[in-house]
Every structure is written in C-alpha cells, then in structure tokens.
Amino acid sequence: MSLDALIAGRAPSYEGEARWGPQIHLAVKVFPCAEPPTAELVTSVRGVVFKGSKVVVVDDGIDSHVMPGGRMEPGETVGQTLARELLEECGWTLPSPCLFAMIHFRHLSARPEGYRYPYPDFLHLLFVGEAGDYRRGGLKRAGEIETGSRLVPISRALATLSVEQRTILRLAMTARK
C-alpha cells in the first residue's frame, strides 16, 4: 500500500519536528497502523517491549525512549530486523510482535550529499509485544548509539518520557494483546 493511501484521511497521534545532527531537519508524524506500508519506504523497525507491568526503556545518550530497534540491513525482512535489533539493543526477544504504528518522517532540509535512504519521505515501523527470553549475550554495545536499557514501571515511563514517547507508549498499550 502506498504512503498516500495509507495516511489518507488519518489524523496523526503525534506531530513534531526532529533534528538529526547539523544537516537533517525532519517533520515527524506518528500514525496508528495495522497494515504494513510499501516496503521501499521502510528504513527502520522498532519494538515496544512489555514485561508485565513494565516496559523496556532505552537511553541513546541524549534522551530515553521506548522503541529499541534500528535500520534494516540488505536482504533482511522486517521480522529479522526487529529480532536482531531488539536482541542487540536490549537483550530481549519478542515472540509475537504486532504492528501497531508507524513514524512518518519527511525531510525539511535539502538532501544531504551521499544520503542513501529514501528522500524526502521514509518510515519506521513500530511493533508491540510481551518480552520473551532475555539474552544478555546478544547485547551489542561497541559503537552503538544506545547506551543501555532497563525495565521501568509503565506509570514511571509515562511520567518521565517526552510527549512523543508517551504518545507511542500509549498507542502500544492500546494495541497490546
């Protein structure tokens, strides 16, 4: 399904802007989504991982968020990317992930030289589920952006995270099975 068809008539749950370094300025919209969009716009896959009354929170050195994950590597499926990224960033498996939202990014700045990702629009898919096994040996830290993860009571996460992250957490809680 095309991006235009997917978001036509839908109101975003969150709208804002982000800066990634000095060159990249983005408009950010979070949409509830149960149908996967066109694959060529998806650059990253992320998961909100619950364990009972707690949620995994990841620190990226600047802020905290509830969506560990990352870029798809060539030849990977969405499911393979999600499993690999969750293991590397927080050590958890997610046995039954469920797509619940997507983040739509639109570049507000000129295309950076050498930029190899979709432009001007790209997507991150967000999945939700209950944690499976914890595998400390799967954690990857050297050279990674994220500096650590922890299980946090949902109520505390809702009280301390940014507006964008609280919105994502609430959407995940609604979609949680």
Tens of pLDDT along 106-125? Answer: 999 999 899 999 999 999 99
Span 157-165, mean pLDDT? Answer: 96
- Where do we find the tokens 């944690």? 131
pLDDT score, position 45: 97
Q: Domain range for residue 77? A: 3-175
Instruction: Return d(Cα 104, Cα 42) in angstroms, integer.
Output: 9
What global pTM score does this model have? 0.93
Domain count, the chain: 1
Q: What CATH number is associated with residue 34? A: 3.90.79.10
Residue 75, SS3 per DSSP? coil
